[in-house]
Structure 1
Amino acid sequence: MKRIAICLTLAAGLVSSAAFADAKNDAEMKQLAAKSGCTTCHGIETDKPGPNGMKPIGPAWIDVAKQYQGKPGASEFLTRVVLEGSNPYSSHWKGKVSGLSMPPNAVAITEGNARLLVNWILALR
């Protein structure tokens, strides 16, 4: 019985450490996104209003995570979109957002940081 209690205590410590690491990572990623200008158009949760009552400018990250969940190459594809921008003629967000396309952001964020941010976004639930 004592052995089970010790195991449960250790497991609880690992879970709380992981939760602290996740909270720290969330704060760092939110700070990186704000510093890089991402939060001008995007929010984490669905239905962040756009300017003057319009639809949001860009899709919510939770929606991006759902859209690309389990798709091979999603991280690489979205990192390229962040850096190089998107094609306004082939957007699957058409009608859901007020923005036509994502502008290139290579001047605002490094490829490494873009990849970190994209991987964080894809892990949102």
Structure 2
Amino acid sequence: MKSIHQAVVGALGLTLAVSALANPTDDAMHKLATESGCFACHSIEPGKAGPDGLKPVGPSWKEVAAQYAGKPGAQEFLTRIVLEGSSPYASHWQGKVSGLAMPPNAVAITEGNARMLVSWILSLKK
């Protein structure tokens, strides 16, 4: 009986852990973004100036969420951009931000964490 109780408690703990990963908190995503260096170029809210007082380096995440809202494949596309970077010649953010392209970040964040962060970003409301 004791082993069944332990199995149930263990399964419940695992379920809660998986649920926490599937529905990350704002604090957890802020911490991940900070540790991964994301806030060097991005902010959550639009309108924040870059470090030099000019246009921000990259778009705010709420602007990204609005740009990609409801678009099929957005999560996979943005996860690839985070990991592999983007082309300065294909940027649809030109004139809105001071950065020309997103550098590859696979050395700073794992694919799983990038996917989780992108999912959270896409859930943000403007």
Q: Same fold (TM over 0.5)?
A: yes
In the alignment, what sits opposite 1:72?
A: 72
In the alignment, what sits opposite 2:85?
A: 85
Aligned equivalents of 2:50, 2:26: Cα separation in 1: 23
Alignment of 1:116 onto 2:116: yes
Structure possessing the higher relative contact order (Cα contacts under 8 Å, 6 or more residues apart)? 2
Matched AA of 2:25: N
TM-score, normalised to structure 1's length?
A: 0.80
Aligned equivalents of 1:39, 1:52: Cα separation in 2: 14
Aligned equivalents of 2:113, 2:55: Cα separation in 1: 28
Q: Secondary structure at the match of 1:122?
A: helix
Alignment of 1:44 onto 2:33: no
Cα RMSD over matched residues? 1.4
Instruction: Give the paired residue count.
Output: 104
Offset from partner CA, 1:10-62 (integer Å, 9 cap, x none) = xxxxxxxxxxx8xx710000100000000110000001111222100000000
TM-score, normalised to structure 2's length?
A: 0.80
Aligned equivalents of 1:120, 1:51: Cα separation in 2: 25
Note the 1:91-110 alignment, pairs <5 A: 91-110=91-110
Q: Secondary structure at the match of 1:112?
A: helix
Unmatched 5+ residue regions in structure 1? 1-20
Q: Secondary structure at the match of 1:53?
A: coil
Unmatched 5+ residue regions in structure 2? 1-19
4+ residue segments displaced more than 4 Å: none
Q: Kindly, what percent of the aligned residue pairs are identical?
A: 69
Aligned equivalents of 1:107, 1:97: Cα separation in 2: 24
Aligned equivalents of 2:56, 2:76: Cα separation in 1: 25
